[in-house]
Amino acid sequence: MNVDQNRVHEAVAPEGTFPIVVLTDGPPGLPRIVSVSNESSLSERITIDHHSRHLHFEATGEVEVVDGHVVPVFHWSYTTCIAE
């Protein structure tokens, strides 16, 4: 599906809300659809905190439709520990 990235950001981040993304191949128990607080990172990578770890995901270039919105898909890449 060829989608204008500006339209993706508009669709997943209505005014006053955080954008949502679809995650693939993350660890068990991680929701497949999550909201992210840093919309500027949606073009390449995002990091999700989960069970005292940083899960790193990279954009696949694919999109899915979630509740009528075009949503970018991110694939799990690697995990790092959260420094205390």
Residue 41 has pLDDT above 60, yes or no: no
pLDDT for residue 35: 87
Bridge partners, residue 53, by sequence: 50, 81
Q: How far is residue 55's CA from residue 68's CA, in Å, rounded to a whole number?
A: 27
Say what the pTM is.
0.75
Residue 51 has pLDDT above 50, yes or no: yes
Rounded to 5 degrees, φ, ψ at 12 are -95, -5
Q: How far is residue 10's CA from residue 50's CA, in Å, rounded to a whole number?
A: 26
Query: How much of the chain exceeds pLDDT 70, in percent?
Result: 70
What digits encode the pLDDT tens for the residues 17-37?
568 999 999 999 899 999 887
Say which range, 6-10, 54-58, 68-72, 74-78, has the weakest mean pLDDT.
6-10
